[in-house]
Amino acid sequence: MNKKKVLIVLPSYATGGAEKVILSYFKNFNNSKISLKLLIVNSKGSCDSFKNKNILNLNYSRFIYSIPKILSILKKENISVIVSTFPNMSTIFLLLKLLNFIKVKIIVRQPNIIEKSLNGNIKLYILKITYKFLIKFADAVVVTSEFMRDEILKYRIKREKVFLIRNPISVEETRKDITPARLNTNNLTLIFVGRLVYQKGIDRVLHLLAIYKNIELILIGEGKCEMNLIKKVKHLNIEDKVKFLGKILKPYNLIAGADYFILPSRWEGLPNCVLESLALGTPVLSTKQVYSLSDFKKNISNRSIVLFDSISELTKKIGTLEKRKDYRKPKLRKSLLVDYISPTNFNKKINKIILKIA
């Protein structure tokens, strides 16, 4: 039996949410009918300890420069299916397919809301228009929320090509060897983990620390808005209540020790940080702008996810929140995740799509 040869293409070993999901699929892959390889466009400076003979490491600073090499690899390896998850790369693959430069099936895993995420400058606007036109030529599209599914169906893609598969999480691995930690036992502790960029909306909630004297905010992550956030913290005179801890690969002890995880994003796909927080027993505060969280009906009903209509509503009600009862010596609380997909089940779903279209 000839195996279906599949190539995943990622820009780098970066640890963002989209990369994490795809790398999880690759690392947990197991299917006798599929031969799977992973191509990294820019592997320079990688500290990834995961080694595998089925990884193809390239050293191109930009994806566009790697296209001739990728075309050669597709032919040499006799690839029949490409899996792509970033709109700029997916758009080029779809264009190459439309122009008959490549004869492969293309699975697009869409990591974010298109209308909101591809905004801000003329390049992103052109990418958005091109993506919306070309996506109907994909052989399958994976989305992570009902809102994203409804959005992409507006782009004239056939409904049977669209698959809603939420991000995978291993609750057991996330909770393994966790010792909850707090930096301060006196204040209500909010924690955020993610990129410090405009999308994440941290600038929208800093005023809370000036209004409420008993709240502190822990920020874990890096990003181009960090300096502006630091300036705003100084302007609000809340330096003692906002902790910038930088990038931490596994901040699970701090998440498990916090009172709440806060996600004030202006838009999101399905944030892995929310799944991890719930798995660690830490409830989540967010707004209804993070549309994917509206799908978690049971978590909303038991208030382990609290969605506010707006930042204004969050501002009014956050002062009524109380610290966890064990704040002095926090213990690992039980998982709050009700409905989730394990890495094994996620892999089965993706493999089923591959075998269906290949």
Return the domain boundaries, the chain: 4-168+341-357, 171-320
Determine the pLDDT at residue 207: 94
Determine the pLDDT at residue 53: 86
- State whether residue 171 is helix, strand or coil: helix
Count of residues for the chain? 358
The residue-averaged pLDDT of 23-45 equals 91
Determine the pLDDT at residue 345: 96
Supply the mean pLDDT for the chain: 94
CA pair distance 109, 311, nearest whole angstrom: 30
Q: Which fold would CATH assign to domain 171-320?
A: Rossmann fold (3.40.50)
User: Comparing 33-47, 185-199, 272-286, 332-346, which segment has the lowest mean pLDDT?
Assistant: 33-47
Cβ pair 265, 202 in contact under 8 A: no
Cβ pair 16, 32 in contact under 8 A: no
The residue-averaged pLDDT of 39-59 equals 79
User: Comparing 48-57, 134-143, 194-203, 263-272, which segment has the lowest mean pLDDT?
Assistant: 48-57
Determine the pLDDT at residue 46: 60
pLDDT, tens only, 85-109: 999 999 999 999 999 999 999 999 9
The residue-averaged pLDDT of 34-57 equals 82
Whether the predicted pLDDT of 310 surpasses 70: yes
Is 237 buried (19+), middle (13-18) or exposed (0-12) by CB count in 10 A? exposed
Cβ pair 190, 255 in contact under 8 A: no
- State whether residue 297 is helix, strand or coil: helix
pLDDT, tens only, 217-245: 999 999 999 999 999 999 999 999 999 99
| Tokens matching residue 102 | 């490549």
Domains 4-168+341-357 and 171-320 equal at CATH topology level: yes
Percent of the chain scored above 90 by pLDDT? Answer: 90
Q: What is the pTM of this model?
A: 0.92
- What element of type H or E holds 93? helix 87-98
Whether the predicted pLDDT of 155 surpasses 60: yes
Whether the predicted pLDDT of 110 surpasses 90: yes
Determine the pLDDT at residue 45: 62
The residue-averaged pLDDT of 130-154 equals 97
Whether the predicted pLDDT of 189 surpasses 70: yes
The residue-averaged pLDDT of 322-334 equals 95
Cα dihedral 260, 187, 181, 261 in deg (nearest 10): 10
CA pair distance 36, 6, nearest whole angstrom: 5
Kindly report the CATH number that applies to the domain delimited by 4-168+341-357.
Answer: 3.40.50.2000
Determine the pLDDT at residue 48: 54
